Structure 1
């Protein structure tokens, strides 16, 4: 039982692995296609921004509307380009102060702090947050305020290398997470995001995936949240050292980033690093450079620093691979060139040998004597056939037997000529010239004898079945009968079916008797049957009845 299930299990695992690889390959193709479309996607993003910008900068636009337009443009720039986002959040701050509305002012400063944290500007972000009076914040603003503090201390704890500061930052991060869990509705995305990260911190992979799946169902590709959620999902597979699934969700995250023109991204750089570790240097090199371009475009010093740690390693490995491939190509070119010289030498050598054999064949005079002997045998055979011919009219059975014997003798004669020719060729190649004749006759003896064979066969057969041609044409389309040349008694098509009438229906035997290939015989038979006015499947049965 165990021996039976083991191969089956291996086959199943192989199939699942193959399906997984196919899915990942498809995702790579989708990502590469979107990367090729980046200029168009960026142009579309800029056009969307310009529509709002044009209205905001118009003199006819009210101050309050300008504020909301500035905030809208800021949101579009927030993950697209840092200095654009910074400019328009400062514009929104200016408009909110002119309006004198504390709620709007608080919104702008909280968003400014969030933007600075995104770029790794932690000190200024903390100063801005400390300058906000929490008592003036609405409930939604208070949640956002604490979310930013949580993110600030999460990043500080992650990036600091000072041990006692890391511990302090972690405690503050946990403090703000606890506050948020009390403020947030249990089914809100922010609440679930905190619970998911806590599950990841505790290495509770199944719980993290359960929450992640719920969050993922609420978003779609191209949104910032989709990119973040799929990135977190990849971490669960990193814990399990499942590299293929980790790469799958990193690719999904990168697809969302490129589709949404999200330049402040992390997934593409992490994916490039994993590809580098697994030896896929060409793809790793491509993705890390695109990631660096995005970081440069966004003007994020934090992202540039992160990428700078792995970019030189990938670039160096990729360049080494290119050098190795170049050397391999050079070796291949040298080997190919040497083989070409060998082939050229072999060609001329073989050509020389062929010329030697041809000259030896031209000098041969032995064949003519052998052909004369064979011709005498043929005359004897013809005399025997004439004697047989006188008895052919007794019964149809006797006629068919005699004609069959006639054909056998002629076929044996043709085989004898072919065997003689093969023997002659062997003698020439072996340079056993023997007694040579003066010259070889110019005419082709085999063709002459075949013509004589056809003439004898045609004459004999038509003496037995004088109406055979007319009877055959009655079986065929009147518009397309078999037509004979002036001097011909039968042609190849009629000879084939004459043999069929004599009971020889095997195409191989017919081809041997008539000196044609089996394919030619088959094609002639099909051609005649296609012109039949009787049932094609029974056509040869009708032929067998001719002359009865």
Structure 2
């Protein structure tokens, strides 16, 4: 996953850098990419050696012509040029040998210039200068003359940079400037060398915007992972160093170092410069890592000058790193002591906590047992209470029913005594007046019975609904929603409701119900079956549900 991310970041920087500079790229991401590239640097060296070996195999083949051997030796020289000094030096001499065998001045001059070039890179200035002095610029072709001027320019630039004597230093600078002018006169205006010199002069004149503009053009012609990109990115970091834009300076030093590593450039400056910059920012660990890698590369290249340059910086960073390690070791020892003390305290604390938890667990078990007993006792008390309340409610309800019905019974008895007395007096009068026929007719008249039954129903309905005002509503809840019983008015009951009203009063026998309501037993039975067929509750327990209507003065619910 991390490797894929770094690859994507590398592609982003490679293809989108010119269109969108590194303002939005975080330093941490670039450091991650650099560290990943460092971890893989051995593979880049192996690939470089593999490519060189391919050329060497052909070079050492007997069937290869001398001319081809020259070009192969030159190609191997170019591969070694920034990879390994002695390899480049050896094949520079090999190319000179093949050129002399061919006795072609153009190839001889080219191979001698290559030798001078690698000596300049390695810091062997005197021998390089002697080789260049032996060459007659007038006898060089345009291509080689251009190369001659570039090598002379690089030679005097380095002599100027490292010379400690002011007067001699000025002479080197003048020679460097003259060769720069010569190059500008002999190369196209849009060439790499032309733009390089223009950028350098803009930087020397502190025209930083022009320097950045030219540098952007040069960057656009290369990509991350190439030697040229490493060079141009390093030179861009110099602009940001002058502008004191440290983050941008570090970003381009990182990009330059990544390109050096990917191109297997062992003669590099960016990683050491980055290490020294990080040292001044107190990022000692990273500085130490980078300066050591840079020193390893310098030793591998066999560049004494580069190794000396890095060796001057390395002890300073190494000493700071050792100091940091000692401080870290000291802090670690203190932390170990503190951790040991805290561990001992923790163990003691855990022991006491364990004892406390054990005591709490035992107490909790006792509490749970006690609570369970209390809960059981409380449940028994609640059940007993509910039974008492039920009994009290039942007794209250029963007493109320008794009181109401006793009152109604006494009223009905009183009414019937009055009626019997009235009927007795009426009968006596009729007998005294000898109205036997008329009296017999009155006695045979069935309207009297009907009127009495009607009056009985009215009294029963009113009395029952007085005791159980929500009986009709509760009773309908026991039936299907689509088949409720509808009464004529709120103070009367239907025959079906009267039957089950008597059931609610405890009269469950159909014979007794039939006698009380003046119906046949069959009629009463049929009514009961009809109602139970409409029931929404269990038919077998329908009468039990009816008996619960009005319990605790609450309506029965489904």
TM-score by length of 2: 0.65
Please tell me whether residue 178 in structure 1 is matched to residue 142 in structure 2: no
Deviation at 1:363, TM superposition (A): 8.3
Question: Is 1:101 aligned to 2:101, yes or no?
Answer: no
Q: How far apart in 2 are the matches of 1:392 and 1:334?
A: 86
Residue 287 and residue 370 in structure 1: after superposition, are their counterparts in 2 closer, same or farther (change >3 A)? closer
- Measure how far apart 1:331 and its partner are: 1.8
**What residue is the counterpart of 1:321 in the other structure?**
324
CA distance in 2, matches of 1:283, 1:362: 60
* C-alpha distance in 2 between matches for 1:233 and 1:322: 34
2:225 corresponds to which of 204, 209, 222: 222
Residue 179 of structure 1: CA displacement? Answer: 1.6
- Please name the residue that 2:53 is paired with: 50
In the TM superposition, what whole-angstrom CA distance separates every residue of 1:257-286 from its partner, at most 9, and x where no partner exists? 111111111111101111111122121111
Match of 1:274 in 2: 277
Contact 1:465–1:547, Cα closer than 8 Å, also in 2: no
Among 358, 383, 399, which residue is 2:388 paired with?
383
Q: Give CA-to-partner distance per residue, 1:163-192, whole Å, 9 cap, x none.
A: 111111111111111121111211111111
Structural mapping, 1:18-37, within 5 Å: 23-37=26-40
Q: Give the structure 1 partner of residue 80 of structure 2.
A: 77
| Per-residue CA distance 1:358-417 (angstroms, 9 max, x = gap) | 6678889998789757744541233314666888994777999xxxxxxxxxxxxxxxxx
Question: Residues 71-105 of structure 1, C-alpha deviation per residue, up to 9 Å, x if partnerless?
Answer: 01100010110000000010100111111111111
Partners of 1:60 and 1:164 in 2: CA distance: 55
Greater alpha carbon shift after TM alignment, 317-326 vs 200-209 = 317-326
User: Within 2, Cα distance between the matches of 1:54 and 1:127?
Assistant: 33
CA offsets 1:98-148 (integer angstroms, 9 cap, x no match):
111111111011111111010100111111100001111011111111111
Q: 1:236 and 2:239 equivalent? A: yes
Question: Contact conserved, 1:467 with 1:547, CA < 8 A, in 2?
Answer: no
CA contact (8 A) 2:225 2:259 kept: yes
Match of 1:287 in 2: 290
The match for 1:540 is none
Q: Distance in 2 between matches of 1:380 and 1:137?
A: 125
Q: 1:149 to 1:371 in 2, by over 3 A?
A: same
Question: Is the radius of gyration larger for structure 1 or structure 2?
Answer: 2
Contact 2:474 2:557 in 1 (8 A): no
1:248 to 236, 248, 251: 251
- Aligned-CA RMSD value: 3.0
Q: Which residue pairs with 1:134 in the alignment?
A: 137
Does 2:316 match 1:341?
A: no
Q: Secondary structure at the match of 1:324?
A: helix
Give the Cα separation in 2 of the matches to 1:127 and 1:302. 19
SS at match of 1:174: helix
Matching of residues 138-537 of structure 1 within 5 Å: 138-356=141-359, 375-376=380-381, 378-385=383-390, 394=471, 466=537
Contact 2:113 2:147 in 1 (8 A): yes
Counterpart for residue 118 of structure 1: 121
Which runs of 5 or more residues in structure 1 are unaligned? 1-18, 401-463, 469-545
Q: Deviations over 1:307-350 (max 9, x none)?
A: 01111111111121122122222222222222222222223323
Deviations along 1:170-215, whole A, 9 cap, x unmatched?
Answer: 1111111112111121111111100000011111111011000101
After TM superposition, give the deviation of residue 220 of structure 1 in Å: 2.1
Preserved CA contact (<8 Å) 1:392 1:398: no
**Aligned mates of 1:392, 1:129 — CA distance in 2:** 130
Unaligned runs of 5+ in 2: 1-21, 398-467, 478-534, 540-555
Partner of 2:401: none
TM-score, scaled relative to structure 1: 0.66
| Structure 1 residue 297, shift from structure 2 partner | 0.6
Query: For 1:169 and 1:211, how far apart are their aligned partners in 2?
Result: 26
Question: Number of residues paired by the alignment?
Answer: 390
- Once residues 39 and 312 of structure 2 are traced to their aligned partners in structure 1, the CA distance between those partners, rounded to angstroms, is 26
Distance 1:351 1:333 in 2: 26
Give, in whole Å, the separation in 2 of the partners of 1:369 and 1:270: 83
Shift of 1:27: 1.7
**Contact preservation (8 Å) 1:80, 1:264:** yes
* Whole-angstrom distance in 2 between the partners of 1:217 and 1:153: 29
| Maintained 8 Å contact 1:208/1:236 | yes
Measure how far apart 1:36 and its partner are: 1.5
